[in-house]
């Protein structure tokens, strides 16, 4: 079960010997509700989760064709995320586990994003290196075992997806605009505007806030000069080339920062496998750059399918399996933790 941000999700997964399968995966997105406000409103998210969670859990069971008593355990996202949102699935999972006498497994959401890769790559085994790039998180992680995560790089301010969404917003696109920036960038010139790097020197950390502000300042300046038309109704498809150039140059700056840190991390850790996960791993430009980088360095690249990049509960079930095998269980006093140090 998952309710850390603006998607309520429930899934039934099966891990057995070499089998890794998703029997059902139900997701109720709140994107349309939050789009009215240009971003996630925490209290509204919590209220929407509480309406959705019960129906979703029973739908997931029905679609999987099994009863609650046939389950071996219940996994739930307990950290990090919006506190009022997290508490909904945590509390539901506790009651569900108690009622059906099932072990309860708390799962870190960022670990969950990484674990999405096990479905697409059933032979994937730690150690490997992972990059989680989502609306709330940007982490570079040395995954030493399925339950031993060492965060070696992170954002010091905005998450990577947050930067995409804010740039999309200033260009006039509805929340969340990451996917639309992706499409628009394909029509623009990535070298049109030189935006600053988001890769901090001397560490594997990022700062996306400066890059985002540079784009916003550029947009405001260009508008004042009358050099940038407003986005036409109907969105990016018909946007002016000048707008596409901004999307392309911003995307190129993000991709450059990610690849430069992955290169540095490769020199330091010598990883042979890279897992890229999270909503922003759906970005087509980032995917191509990762593919080229990994081919050149002879690294095995594991990119989950788009359906598993965004928030879902199957990924929580996958990580839940490994936490369960490691004996990481919780009691009825399980609480949610809104902020934690990455996936560690
Ligand atoms: O992993 P996710 O569903 O939720 C969080 O855990 O945050 O990620 C959502 C983020 C949003 O910021 C969204 O704009 C971004 O992923 N996103 C993209 C693309 N598709 C989704 N960003 C860039 N390019 C995309 N194609
Ligand atoms: Zn997420």
- Three-state SS letters, 213-268: HHHHHHHHHHHHCCCCCCCCCCHHHHCCHHHHHHHHHHHHHHHHHHHHHHHHHHHH
Which domains occur in the chain, in start order? 7-116+312-325 (3.30.420.40), 128-306 (3.30.420.40)
- Pocket lining: 158 vs ligand 1, CB cutoff 6 Å: no
Residue nearest to atom 21 of ligand 1 (CA): 279
b/e per residue 243-252 (b: at least 16 CB within 10 A): bbbbbbbbbb
- Pocket lining: 278 vs ligand 1, CB cutoff 6 Å: yes
Q: Which positions ≥6 away from 246 have C-beta within 8 Å?
A: 167, 171, 188, 192, 193, 215, 218, 219, 228
- CA distances to 136, 267, 308 from 46, in Å: 16, 43, 23
Q: How far is the CA of 165 from the centre of ligand 1 (A)?
A: 8
- Pocket lining: 142 vs ligand 1, CB cutoff 6 Å: no
Whole-structure pTM over 0.85, yes or no? Answer: yes
pLDDT for residue 312? 97
- Taking the CA atoms of 75, 77, 83 and 89 in sequence, report the sign of the dihedral they define: negative
pLDDT for residue 234? 55
* Radius of gyration (C-alpha) of the chain in whole angstroms: 20
How far apart (Å, rounded) are the C-alpha atoms in residues 282 and 260? 19
In tens, the pLDDT along 42-92 reads 999 999 999 999 999 999 999 999 999 999 999 999 999 999 999 999 999
- Pocket lining: 280 vs ligand 1, CB cutoff 6 Å: yes
pLDDT for residue 231? 67
pLDDT for residue 239? 66
CB 165 within 8 A of CB 310: no
How far apart (Å, rounded) are the C-alpha atoms in residues 78 and 338? 8
- Pocket lining: 136 vs ligand 1, CB cutoff 6 Å: yes
Q: Which ligand is nearest to the CA of 159?
A: 1
Using DSSP, state whether 106 is helix, strand or coil: strand
Q: Which ligand is nearest to the CA of 283?
A: 1
pLDDT for residue 98? 97
For residue 44, count CB atoms less than 10 angstroms from its CB and return exposed for 0-12, middle for 13-18, buried for 19 or more. middle
Q: Which positions ≥6 away from 287 have C-beta within 8 Å?
A: 276, 281, 303
C-alpha of 141 from chain center: 14
In tens, the pLDDT along 244-291 reads 999 999 999 999 999 999 999 999 999 999 999 999 999 999 999 999
Pocket test for ligand 1, best of 8, 117, 161, 251 (most atoms within 8 A of CB): 161
The mean pLDDT values, 10 residues at a time, for the chain of 344 residues are 96 94 96 90 96 98 97 98 97 98 97 97 97 95 98 96 96 93 96 97 97 96 84 62 95 98 98 96 97 98 94 98 98 93 81
pLDDT for residue 273? 98
């Amino acid at each position: 079960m998952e309710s850390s941000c603006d998607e309520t999700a429930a899934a039934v997964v099966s891990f057995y010997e070499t089998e890794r399968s998703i029997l059902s995966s139900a997701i109720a997105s709140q994107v349309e509700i939050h789009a009215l406000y240009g971003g996630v409103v925490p209290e509204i998210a919590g209220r929407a989760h509480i309406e959705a969670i019960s129906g979703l859990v029973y739908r997931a069971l029905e679609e999987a064709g099994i009863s609650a008593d046939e389950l071996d355990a219940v996994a739930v996202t307990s950290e990090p995320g919006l506190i009022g949102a997290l508490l909904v699935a945590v509390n539901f999972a506790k009651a569900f586990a108690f009622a059906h006498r099932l072990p309860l497994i708390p799962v870190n959401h960022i670990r969950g994003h990484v674990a999405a890769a096990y479905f697409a790559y059933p032979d994937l085994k730690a150690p490997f290196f992972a990059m989680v790039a989502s609306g709330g998180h940007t982490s570079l992680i040395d995954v030493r075992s399925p339950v031993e995560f060492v965060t070696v790089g992170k954002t010091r301010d905005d998450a990577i997806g947050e930067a995409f969404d804010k740039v999309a917003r200033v260009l006039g696109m509805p929340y969340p605009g990451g996917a639309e920036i992706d499409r628009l960038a394909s029509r623009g010139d990535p070298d049109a505007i030189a935006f600053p790097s988001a890769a901090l020197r001397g560490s594997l950390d990022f700062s996306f806030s400066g890059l985002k502000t540079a784009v916003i300042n550029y947009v405001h300046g260009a508008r004042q000069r009358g050099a940038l038309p407003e986005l036409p109704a109907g969105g990016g498809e018909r946007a002016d080339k000048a707008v596409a150039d901004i999307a392309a140059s911003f995307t190129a700056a993000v991709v450059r920062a990610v690849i430069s840190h992955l290169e540095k991390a490769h020199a330091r850790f010598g990883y042979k496998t890279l897992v890229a996960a999270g909503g922003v791993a759906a970005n087509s430009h980032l995917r191509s750059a990762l593919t080229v980088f990994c081919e050149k360095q002879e690294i095995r690249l594991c990119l989950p399918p788009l359906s598993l990049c965004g928030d879902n509960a199957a990924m929580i079930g996958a990580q839940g399996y490994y936490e369960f095998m490691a004996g990481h269980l919780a009691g009825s006093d399980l609480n949610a933790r809104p902020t934690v140090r990455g996936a560690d």
